[in-house]
Amino acid sequence: MSSSSRNGSSSSWTPRQNKRFEDALALYDEDTPDRWEKVAGAVGGKTAEEVERHYMLLVRDLMRIELGQVRFPNYRNLENGS
């Protein structure tokens, strides 16, 4: 059993947790001692390992976007119902 399962936290993130995560990242930069513990405390319901993993996934997604590996929806077609 993983430590996150033992602690009762889950891999899903609520919109509120994501907002708290973003706010905590702005508050605790990469030079902050015990950064992930502090971010986890600000988020609530997540371990330091979970918030660090969430951050690494975010960084990976941003890199893919910057490399043009993510297709953006054609909003014009969505507006027309096509």
Average pLDDT taken over every residue of the chain: 85
CA atoms of 73 and 69, how far apart (whole Å) = 13
Write down the pLDDT at residue 28: 98
Quick one: pLDDT at residue 27? 97
Distances in Å between the Cα of 37 and the Cα atoms of 15, 51, 65, 68 are 20, 8, 28, 33
Would you say domain 14-79 falls under CATH 2.40.50.140?
A: no
Tens digit of pLDDT at every position of the chain (82 positions): 334 433 444 579 999 999 999 999 999 999 999 999 999 999 999 999 999 999 999 999 999 988 988 887 777 766 665 5
Q: What pLDDT was estimated at residue 6?
A: 39
Q: How far is CA 60 from the centre of its chain?
A: 11
What is the predicted pLDDT for the residue at 78? 60
The ranges assigned to domains in the chain are 14-79
